[in-house]
Structure 1
């Protein structure tokens, strides 16, 4: 199939830029040190290998209640009037309730947590997760889990200030610069839990969730 020419500014293809011209451009984009905001300012992605079967890791993540085990601060999950939404305490925010709806796709092994502090009408904090079969990408058994967050404007300016508890000293966006490290800590929690249960021949998704 012949690929048509593209007359689009800012698109670099071998048809319009030879390798000897493109290589210096790529090398110039490669640095030994990167500013934190350049890597994690608008999007925050963390990745970890988990020595446990991908189907079981996915099934565990797809249950909203798993968050009470592997996250640092979400505890005490209860169902709301909407059967798809759970409410819990986010203990990094004093007196903060966090609402969560989980959207999972078993075929693609994606698990998206739609969350918000204080209110359930607009779940704008979206945590995008994917479980990949490590046999495909690393040639060994296990799972590769990726987790991405996008810097929604409400992280900088609460879109629902009227729902905020009086006197709370922090807002979730105050921690954005720590999201990469904080989420990696939580992802390593997930790794430790899944690997421990798998190594000890226990179900990764515990019986109490069934």
Structure 2
């Protein structure tokens, strides 16, 4: 797995790859799409199972408070998501802009809303424009002692099918030549988000197991 020597995952030894981690740097979209298709159940209509909501969840063998702190930093998206990269602060406080490498020249805007008491982390996002961050990723970190009676964390992640997934209300902001809209990918969300949750799990568990802080040094600068 390729690591950036100054940024995302730079604290991990590149000689010890993370099994199962799928990022745009390791798997092109042409490679990853068939993998996601294999994970989509074709026996039932997708709308019957994931109509208005898409939820994935999993156990992470890492301390919940440290996991929450890592996820609360918007830049963590550069590490565990498949394609969100190059995040940088905008002139608006709390608002970040990066690139969604699913498509060339697609800007993604992100504002992270985190509640330390409830350990919720909500990523308010949108492609192409920052004025209406309608694409919201709702995450919660739960102390596994409470729900599974063992150390570690449980992560719950839900997306709601906002009407804008079906129709882009901001056509004037679309970069020239891009035909795909994020809503075209809704049927792949469950499989794609499971891949990203698996990435999150592998990265957090490797850091915890090897004594590294879950929030790496490059994110503390």
TM-score by structure 2 length?
0.79
* 1:25-174 equivalences in 2 (<5 Å): 35-174=45-184
Deviation of the 1:36 alpha carbon:
2.6
Matched residues, number: 178
Give ranges in structure 2 of 5+ residues lacking alignment.
Answer: 1-42
Q: Residues 149-206 of structure 1: CA distance to partner in whole angstroms, max 9, x if unpaired?
A: 0000110100111111111031100100000000000000000000000000100000
**4+ long deviations beyond 6 Å:** none
Give 1:34 shift. Answer: 5.2
- The CA deviation at 1:118 is 0.4
3-state DSSP of counterpart to 1:93? coil
In the aligned structure 2, how far is the partner of 1:43 from the partner of 1:188? 20
SS at match of 1:115: strand
The answer for unaligned runs of 5 or more in structure 1 is 1-32
Q: CA deviation at 1:126?
A: 0.4
Q: Name the stretch that deviates more: 86-95 or 109-118.
A: 86-95
Aligned mates of 1:34, 1:137 — CA distance in 2:
30
1:12-62, CA deviations, whole angstroms, 9 ceiling, x for partnerless residues? xxxxxxxxxxxxxxxxxxxxx754322211100000100000000000000
Is structure 2 residue 180 aligned with structure 1 residue 178? no
Please give the TM-score of this superposition, normalised by the length of structure 1: 0.83
**How far apart, CA to CA, are the structure 1 residues paired with 2:214 and 2:99?**
24
Higher normalized contact order (CA 8 Å, seq sep 6+, divided by chain length):
2
Partner in structure 2 of residue 18 of structure 1: none
Alignment partner, residue 190 of structure 1:
200
Please tell me whether Structure 1 or Structure 2 has the larger radius of gyration of its CA atoms: 1
